[in-house]
Structure 1
Amino acid sequence: MAGGNLAITAADYSLLTDLYQLTMSACYVGEDLAETPAHFEMFTRRLSNGFGYFVAMGLEQVLSYLESLQFTDEQIDYLQGTGIFKNAPAAFWELLRDGKFTGDVWAVPEGTPMFPHEPFLRIEAPLWQAQIVETFILNALNYQTLIATRAARMRHQAGDRTLLEFGTRRAFSPQGATWAARAALAGGLDATSNVLAAQQLGINPVGTMAHALVMAVGTLEGSEDEAFQAFHRYFPAAPLLIDTYDTMGAANRLKAQIASGETTLSGIRLDSGDLVQLSQDIHKLMPEINIFASGDLDEFEMERLQNAGAQIDGYGLGTKLVTGSPVNGVYKLVEIDNKSTMKKSKNKATYPGRKQVFRNVKAGGDHMALATESSQDNEIPLLKKVMQDGDRLTKPETLDQIRDRTKANVAKLPAGVKQVENPEPYPVKISEQLQTLTEEVAARLKKKH
């Protein structure tokens, strides 16, 4: 079997995991540990891509997944048929057949800026459940956090210019493309060209045209101008892509047609060439026309263009929005059966115990502490309880709510942290109780190992 189109539905999510999540769970059952209360936290060890912050995103998909998690008879038959689990206890299959997620979830709201070692999310559940959900959680949160962060940085750099998500053809999969569109909009972009994502999100998609239309219609019907006219017959005044042949030649002809009343135009798109010079020349020629730029743009190139005086009203953002160095979020056990634990590997050590992150709303800066600690003056706790006993405590938010939260939260960050180049570190301190617990657990583990 070649796998067909490898389409994924919610019913498939139980197997959308790594094998070792299942083999470990079978081991837990055999050792009578499966129902032991466990606490796992998802966090990053470092910032990537030269970012000064991350914007947490993807919680909605995690909660939907946890709500619907279950194993079908067909899936269990497949697992048994692999032969990998031939020594697994019979109780393991009973657990999968009857099991569902019954735990609690604590998480920061989507659109919250986060920093190294601060937990985005905590799962409190029987050990086998907390273990088996790791892969999906990291997949959903890591990718959408990457896209939302890039979108927030681009929005900060662009100011009030229009930002459009054009990344579907470069996203890592069809599923990734819809998640990328969602995260980009929630991170601050205005619209997406992905029609499926737009339909699922309840908005209208956006777009212009491609060089292919200019080349096809122009070749068959006579000229670039006739291609523009043909497109406008069905989509009046739509933005036109004018750099297929001679950009300024097309601009001058459009200027004359507008002046004579032959056509109207809402905007033009540039996908190549010297964007600074071209945008300046076209703006001088047609100051009332919006100019959009596309073509492997990111926040760094946007900064360069704007500093050079480009007259660009909006950007189409694709490849560099939906790809890049991944957010290296990890999911680690921090407490088992009321006993705090930690990882001590070189360069990969973790903080033990259930934690809370407190943010100072006046002075700025974060305070990472144990979940049992209280906030200090002007601090608010970031992690909220969003699921209890497998049931959601909150209703799904609208895209506008998340986008507004992202915008407001990023605006509150220190200017240096938001710099596109060489951002300054954000202050995060560790509470005395957390530091003491870390030292105590490290000492205990050293004696045992």
Structure 2
Amino acid sequence: MTTFPDLDYVHKQQTQQNQELNLCADDYSLLTDLYQLTMAACYTGEGIEQRWASFELSVRRLPPNFGYLIAMGLAQALEYLAKFRFSQSQIAALQATGIFAGASDRFWSLLAQGKFTGDVWAVPEGTAVFANQPLLRVEAPLWQAQLVETYLLNTINYQTLIATKAARLRDVAGESATLLEFGTRRAFSPQASLWAARAALAGGLDSTSNVLAALQLGKKPSGTMAHALVMALSAIEGTEEQAFSAFHRYFPGAPLLIDTYDTIAAAQGLAAKVNSGQMELTGVRLDSGDLVTLSKQVRSLLPGVPIFASGDLDEWEIARLKAAGAEIDGYGLGTRLVTGSPINGVYKLVDIDGIPVMKESSGKVTYPGRKQIFRSLTGGKVKADRLGLLGESSWEEQPLLQLVVQQGKRVQPLETLETIRQRTAASVGSLPEHTRRLDRPVAVEVEISEGLRVLTEETKKRTTKDSKGAK
């Protein structure tokens, strides 16, 4: 067996726990499920690892009360594919597990020399999609297409969820409302907090409080203050008013959190200073209590000051607040934005060496063959989608899947967040009202083309025949 000794690395990885569990680009290839590697080893042993395979990533069903999804996460998926490599030390660590004792030497050589050399077709980020439509297709040698499944699902599932919720929040709140992403402390991990911030901005939010995410994305972070500052300075300096004054000495005019003690008393004190010209104030934030009543009272005291609300808000709560006449100009979105109903994206083989394949498990049936989504618009609104085969002709329909990687190299430039945000807004605006509504939305009808229907029937007959023959 070919070996790649790096005893220091193996010792660190196998006999000493790495409590930090940090992630860097060099680790991308190992961030996978074990069965991806064992399957790749099996393919290599059977001599089929270089067979050309097509896998499609789609969502079986929409989350409850979702009428659409906003595709997101492609940028990180393509960055992962570009850096897909196995170092000698990583290979040594895999060998040291003992799990791959039966793997052929060719498997280790494949990992050592391999990189992603395939093609990728994808729906542009910010595009509205529906159940059973491929958001992405990987066409590559079988071992490569198989190994990348876990990471692609991780980034696309999560970012699609956040972008969709952000788009719904923007749709409900309206274009004039300021929407701030405050979800870092509630995201499922530090890495997830960065992806959530990105997807939220691309989905329609204005800014994020995540400093690292904002700076990496070329944006300015946004935020106010926490109750701790008000309590600490009030206790030491004497009053809430003095706490506000102290904060403004360093951040003049910054928004202030006014519900630590008595919200109305705080607003009255600030109103006196604003009206007398002693203070400039760019906003106040309410984080608790009856937001409808409090916002109206604060508005009467501070008529020219923007009012922000936070505290476990989501699109349903914003809709309720607006319907009740709340005087709120902006919202801080955290827990319910970065968590919630998961996107159950799946990544399934649809073609191997030109042979269409499909999964026929109960409740998990997939369509065979390489596919395209054809979208028809009437008056700027989505009329219907047709799921067909890649080679089908389309006269008046818009094909959604685009070639973004060819032979391992990107063929389209990286898009800016602003471009994706604009596409998101246009995509949501093109959907029928009954698809955008929060209560019992109705997804756009997805028709199955005649060619795909015929191929599905033929594939079922072939697999049934093969199954009976095997007996």
For 2:297, the equivalent position in structure 1 comes to 281
Q: Find the counterpart in structure 1 of residue 41 from structure 2.
A: 26
Unaligned ranges ≥5, structure 2: 1-15
Counterpart CA distance in 2 for 1:421 and 1:149 is: 15
For residue 375 of structure 1, what is the amino acid of its counterpart? S
Match of 2:399 among 371, 381, 385: 381
- Choose from 175, 185, 203 the match for 1:187: 203
Deviations along 1:134-162, whole A, 9 cap, x unmatched?
00000010000000000000000010200
Match of 2:463 among 417, 441, 445: 445
Alignment match, 1:90: 105
User: Which residue of 2 is the match for residue 352 of structure 1?
Assistant: 368
Q: 1:275 and 1:46 mapped to 2: Cα distance?
A: 35
> Contact 2:130–2:443 at 8 Å: present in 1 too?
no
The equivalent residue for 2:387 is 368
Paired residues in the alignment total 448
Counterpart among 67, 74, 94 of residue 52 in structure 1:
67
Which secondary structure does the structure 2 equivalent of 1:365 belong to? Answer: strand
User: Could you tell me how far 1:361 is from its partner in structure 2?
Assistant: 2.3
Matched residue, 2:188: 172
Match of 1:168, SS? coil
User: What residue is the counterpart of 1:432 in the other structure?
Assistant: 450
Distance 1:340 1:105 in 2: 18
Work out whether 1:399 is the aligned partner of 2:417.
yes
Q: Per-residue deviation at 1:5?
A: 1.6
- Counterpart in the other structure of 1:421: 439
Shift of 1:264: 1.4
- Unmatched 5+ residue regions in structure 1? none
Matches within 5 A, 1:274-313: 274-313=290-329
**Structure 1, residues 120-141: CA drift from partner, whole Å, max 9, x if none?**
0000000000000000000010
In the aligned structure 2, how far is the partner of 1:3 from the partner of 1:176? 20
Any residues of structure 2 matched to 1:45-194 within 5 Å, and which? Answer: 45-160=60-175, 161-194=177-210
Per the TM alignment, residue 258 of structure 1 is displaced from its structure 2 partner at its CA by: 1.1
Which position in structure 1 is the counterpart of 2:278? 262
Superposed structure 1 runs of 4+ greater than 6 Å apart: none
Q: Distance in 2 between matches of 1:128 and 1:421?
A: 43
The separation in 2 between residues aligned to 1:259 and 1:341, in whole angstroms, is 72
Instruction: State the alpha-carbon separation in 2 of the partners of residues 425 and 86 from structure 1.
Output: 49
Counterpart of 1:258 in structure 2: which amino acid? V
- Distance in 2 between residues matched to 1:374 and 1:211, nearest whole Å: 60
User: Matches of 2:236 and 2:181 in 1, distance apart?
Assistant: 31
Partner-residue secondary structure (3-state), 2:185: helix
SS of the residue aligned with 2:120? strand
Match of 1:15 in 2: 30
Counterpart residue identity of residue 445, structure 2? P
Q: Give, in whole Å, the separation in 2 of the partners of 1:205 and 1:2.
A: 35
CA distance in 1, matches of 2:327, 2:333: 17
Instruction: Please give the alpha-carbon distance, in whole angstroms, between the structure 2 residues aligned to 1:361 and 1:264.
Output: 49
Q: Secondary structure at the match of 1:386?
A: strand
Measured after TM superposition, the shift of residue 375 of structure 1 is 1.1
Q: Distance in 2 between matches of 1:403 and 1:4?
A: 37
C-alpha distance in 2 between matches for 1:71 and 1:226? 58
Which amino acid in the other structure matches residue 394 of structure 1? Q
Question: C-alpha displacement at 1:50, in angstroms?
Answer: 1.4
CA distance in 2 between partners of 1:74 and 1:254 (Å): 61
Matched-pair contact (CA < 8 Å) for 2:69–2:161: yes
Q: Which amino acid aligns with 2:79?
A: S
* CA apart distance, 1:287: 1.3
Residues 256, 285 of structure 2: 8 Å contact kept: yes
Do residues 40 (structure 1) and 58 (structure 2) align?
no
Identity %: 61
* CA distance, structure 2, for counterparts of residue 28 and residue 71 of structure 1: 18
- Normalised by the length of structure 2, the TM-score is 0.94
Instruction: Confirm whether residue 340 of structure 1 aligns to residue 367 of structure 2.
Output: no
